[in-house]
Amino acid sequence: MNKQIQQNYPDAQFVNPQITSDDEIDLRELFAVIWQGKWLIIAITAVFTIGAVIFAIMQPNIYKSEALLAPASEEQGGGLSALASQFGGLASMAGINLGGGGGVDKTQMAIEVMKSRQFASDFIQKHQLLPDLMAAEKWSMAENTVIYDADLYDVSANKWVREVKAPFKPKPSMQEAYKEFSKVLSVNSSKDTGIVTVSIEHPSPFVAQQWVNWLVEDINKMMKERDVAEAKRSSEFLNKQISQTNIADIRTILYKLVEEQAKTIMFAEVRDEYVFKVIDPAIAPEVKNSPKRGLISILGTLLGIILGVVFISIRHFFRK
């Protein structure tokens, strides 16, 4: 019959009914296999769900404290900006930056300094943060204390007891500390408003708050000391140049430049919020930031279902 139809209609295309039937049988067979192994799939899913729940519960709460900062550097240097167009060439010869355009923005420089290895190392050593950074396990809300991992740090003896291979030592190096510090520190700047957000994540909300406050204080202090030292060196150079020239016009220009350096020093000495002005200070958060225990449990359940179905299917086809 098929041959006769093919002869009468040579251009017609026919589907092999056997192929369609095989495809339908395979799909039905797959569902049948899954249904037959439903209890095994349920058991695998339950194991993964319980494991995910236990894992989520064992994870310590992580709190995130942050502060909103506004750039304060634009409020200074008005006189230098005015002199930049007139005496920019002479100031460049003197090694003085009048802020007349170009170069790195002071706020952006402060952000990069805060992220730098040198600043982080000095910050950790200055405030003795190594145990809280490298060995903190969880936070006791009742006693408001940090509980440390006994396998890493002995609190009573104030001694590091972790076991590591060379070249590492029981006490973490600053390179190790910097890597860990980079994970908990976040510094972001809004392109639209210029507002800077500094945040720290830690098992203790009070430790996180304290670190953010110290970060803001230290970066303001460091940038202020840098500018004051630069202004003093520039003033010494300019005074030397004044003593070596007898041309009245040049001496007048140099005196103006010395005056601007004196203003920079005065501005820095009387202001603590030198680069960043605090808009919203850091607080000790009441609600944890992570872990997302519900999400971890759901992902564990989905993973159990997928692995259960895959295992049942592979076992069936291998037997077949």
The string of pLDDT tens digits covering residues 30-56 is: 788 888 888 998 999 999 999 999 999
% pLDDT > 90, the chain: 45
What is residue 86's predicted lDDT score, i.e. its pLDDT? Answer: 54
Name the one residue in this structure whose structure tokens are 């049948």: 32
* pLDDT for residue 175 is more than 50: yes
Nearest alpha carbon to residue 164 among 139, 135, 137: 135
Mean per-residue pLDDT over the chain, rounded: 82
Q: Residue 100 and residue 84: Cα distance in Å, rounded?
A: 5
Query: How far is CA 187 from its chain centroid?
Result: 7
Q: 297: pLDDT confidence band, cut at 50, 70 and 90?
A: very high
Q: 3-state DSSP call for residue 69?
A: strand
pTM listed for this prediction: 0.75
* Structural domains present in the chain: 16-58+294-319 (no CATH), 63-79+99-219+259-289 (3.30.1890)
Nearest alpha carbon to residue 100 among 112, 111, 110, 89: 89
Q: Are 154 and 238 in contact (CB under 8 A)?
A: no
Q: Residue 27 and residue 197: Cα distance in Å, rounded?
A: 55
| Average pLDDT, integer, range 270-275 | 81
Please tell me the least confidently modeled range out of 127-136, 211-220, 226-235: 226-235
**Hey, what's the torsion of the CAs at 46, 49, 52, 53, to 10 degrees?**
-100
What is residue 198's predicted lDDT score, i.e. its pLDDT? Answer: 95
Question: Residue 212 burial by CB count (10 A; 0-12/13-18/19+): exposed, middle or buried?
Answer: buried
Q: 146: pLDDT confidence band, cut at 50, 70 and 90?
A: very high
What is residue 78's predicted lDDT score, i.e. its pLDDT? Answer: 46
